[in-house]
Amino acid sequence: MTQESQPPRQYAVWAPGARTVEVVVGHSDRAHGDPAVDRHRARPMVPGGRPGWWVAPIEPGDDGRYAFRLDGGDPRPDPRSLSQPDGVHGPSALVDRTAYDWGDAGWAGAGLEGAVLYELHIGTFTPQGTLAAATARLDHLVALGVTMISLMPVAAFPGRHGWGYDGVALFAVHEPYGGARGLQEFVDACHRRGLAVCLDVVYNHLGPSGNYLGQFGPYFTDRHHTPWGDAVNLDGPGSDEVRRFLLDNVRMWLEDFHLDGLRLDAVHALHDQRAEHLLESVAVVADEVAERTGRPRSLIAESDRNDPATVSPRGPGGAGGLGLTGQWADDIHHALHVALTGETQGYYGDFADPGALGKVLTRTPFFHDGTYSSFRGRSHGRPVDLATTPPWRFVASLQTHDQVGNRATGDRLCHGLTPGQSAIGAALLLTAPYTPMLFMGEEWGAGTPWQFFTDHSEPELVEGIRTGRAREFAEHGWSATVPDPQDERTVAASRLDWAEPAVEPHASLLEWHRTLLRLRRELPDLLATPLTDGHLARSGDVLVLTRGAVHVVANLADTDARVAAPAEPRTRHTAAEFGGVRVEGDVVHLPGHSVVVLADGWAPSRAARTVEA
């Protein structure tokens, strides 16, 4: 495939080490319904364009299916394939990305500042597991108050279902989801409803099944390693074309699919020793697309380094940071999780520190900002300068696909909490000045788990995944049976149940999240108050979090509590409460696991919401 954003005119592939390259094509006179490439319809390719590239014209009669054969070997899919209709091991299919008639001309775009993210996995968001089915649920997200969907990877991966982080055809949209056309229609539908879309992309490694890139060129290197497989060659011989491959992929998503941003998976595993790191180059491409289209493009990094330079502005001559828009801040999740659950195993141990919750809610997104991490056995992170990297650049959450799916049984946070405890967690998250992110179903306390599932066809790979996960969890003291990733029942159990939001206690939690997101828009002090001007006071199990004239009062205990009411009764309003909280004069009466949001001097646009547990 050509790499330009235009209808395909020729077959093209980078194979610098090959002596001969053929394109094996399908013809319209093949037997109807036969998905296989006809091996006898091979045409030689010739060198063309940049060094190492081979080209051949698309001829009349070609039916769109094709593969490449290097030095007489087996036909392989196009590394830049835009469609894998028969799976990642089959032939590629031609796609005209420009053929779609977009209807989002009125969409001005949306940046990360002020956004509310919603992490969504297409395969389990609906029973059908398609982009079209997800489109039918978009009005739910609009009513909730979400502004940007964080779409988990859709690049083609092995089998029918999986998380998507083992993708191997980075330019092709997973066919069971709806393919390239399905993604364009989904993004278009989101924009017409005022929803931005950010896509999760994985550039640090490729999956083990259907990964033929190494047969074409030096896409991988043994100089670096990742926990998930061979590292991508970003700085060794031949890496100029590898980087161009990735940057063209970035440009394709942002231009041809009108995506508003990309979430970059595990950027700490992008091993790049060049003066200009790949992430800087990605940021330059995103800025160019934004300037050309007049719509902002956001780049959100997942990084384990606790390094604010990831989102610090770029400066001239390589000075400054990497210039990405935002990054996940897992320390906020960890502190909230420990406060709500009391779990302290593994990396949660450091967050049992009594000051952990107050630090991440009122001082810095990084609890480890140069402090000692017992889990790592060393100091970790460095301080954040909030003047150059404001809180909205840090994405905060109570749950993510990682924090749920990487638990042995895929149990959600709410599965170990009462509705009131879940409501407290939501209040602490959604009143913070960070960019909040909800994981699909979190808004109603979904009863379904979200487990690890795969659909590989290689027996040795299947067995390795099964035994590896079981061994890993056994080493961490987990005695229960770990769900089989290959079992159809595992993915079936992970699909959201859309009947739940209409019944209790789910309906009350859904209304609570809607209310909190409305208050986030209506109470300026929640976002305008500098993070360090906030204050968290704790007396036993009662928390009082203050941001300007807004106060969140919560009771983490299962027994009743009383606390002095903040603010004067004559100017104080109850903006929202969950669990039967009563405010009488100077006293707040808090049943077990309850929470109230009080606003001083605020005139509500409508009656304050009361949500019963």
Per-residue pLDDT reduced to its tens digit, 95-144: 999 999 999 999 999 999 999 999 999 999 999 999 999 999 999 999 99
**Residue 52 phi, psi (nearest 5):** 90, -5
**Residue 472 phi, psi (nearest 5):** -60, -45
Task: Retrieve residue 60's tokens.
Answer: 């009349």
Using DSSP, state whether 148 is helix, strand or coil: strand
Cβ atoms of 398 and 333 closer than 8 Å: yes
- pLDDT, tens digit (0-9, with 9 covering 90-100), for 243-273: 999 999 999 999 999 999 999 999 999 999 9
Per-residue CA distances from 99 to 85, 96, 102, 198 (Å): 18, 6, 9, 22
Q: How many percent of the chain have pLDDT more than 90?
A: 83
DSSP state of 79: T
| Separation of CA 222 from chain center | 28
| Separation of CA 295 from chain center | 21
Task: Retrieve residue 298's tokens.
Answer: 């956001």
Q: In the chain, what are the domain boundaries?
A: 10-93, 117-328+391-406+433-502, 532-611
Task: Retrieve residue 61's tokens.
Answer: 């009669």
Confidence class for position 4, pLDDT limits 50, 70, 90: very low
pLDDT at position 611 is: 52
560 is catalytic: no
DSSP state of 447: S
Query: What's the topology of domain 10-93?
Result: Immunoglobulin-like (2.60.40)
Cβ atoms of 343 and 333 closer than 8 Å: no
Task: Report the 3 state secondary structure along 366-427.
Answer: CCCCCEEECCCCEEECCCCCCCCCCHHHEEEECCCHHHHHCCCCCCCHHHHCCHHHHHHHHH
Encode 559-570: b = buried (16+ Cβ within 10 Å), e = exposed: eebebebbbeee
Cβ atoms of 217 and 15 closer than 8 Å: yes
The residues, ordered by sequence, that sit 6+ positions from 590 with a Cβ below 8 Å of its Cβ are: 542, 553, 554, 555, 560, 561, 562, 563, 579, 581, 596
CATH code assigned to 532-611: 2.60.40.1180
The closest of 266, 260, 278, 261 to 401, measured between CA atoms, is 266
The residues, ordered by sequence, that sit 6+ positions from 220 with a Cβ below 8 Å of its Cβ are: 213, 214, 230, 231, 232, 233
Q: Give me the catalytic one of 119, 265, 369, 500.
A: 265
The residues, ordered by sequence, that sit 6+ positions from 504 with a Cβ below 8 Å of its Cβ are: none
265 is catalytic: yes
- pLDDT, tens digit (0-9, with 9 covering 90-100), for 384-428: 999 999 999 999 999 999 999 989 899 999 999 999 999 999 999
Distance CA 472, CA 450 (A): 18
Task: Retrieve residue 147's tokens.
Answer: 């502004």
Q: Give me the catalytic one of 62, 256, 280, 302.
A: 302
pLDDT at position 33 is: 44
Residue type present at position 15: A
pLDDT at position 444 is: 98
Instruction: Quote the mean pLDDT of the chain.
Output: 92
Radius of gyration over every alpha carbon of the chain, rounded to an integer in angstroms: 26
pLDDT at position 603 is: 67
Q: Is 408 exposed, middle or buried (0-12, 13-18, 19+ CB in 10 A)?
A: buried
Task: Report the 3 state secondary structure along 103-131.
Answer: CCCCCCCCCCCCCCEEEECHHHHCCCCCH
Query: What's the topology of domain 117-328+391-406+433-502?
Result: TIM Barrel (3.20.20)
- pLDDT, tens digit (0-9, with 9 covering 90-100), for 61-108: 899 999 999 999 999 999 999 999 999 999 999 999 999 999 999 999
Q: Give alpha helix (H) positions in 221-318.
A: 239-256, 278-293
pLDDT at 467 over 90: no
Q: What is the rounded (10 degree) CA torsion for 327, 328, 331, 333?
A: 150
* Residue positions counted in the chain: 613
Residue with tokens 């491959």: 245
Whether 10-93 shares its CATH topology with 532-611 is answered yes
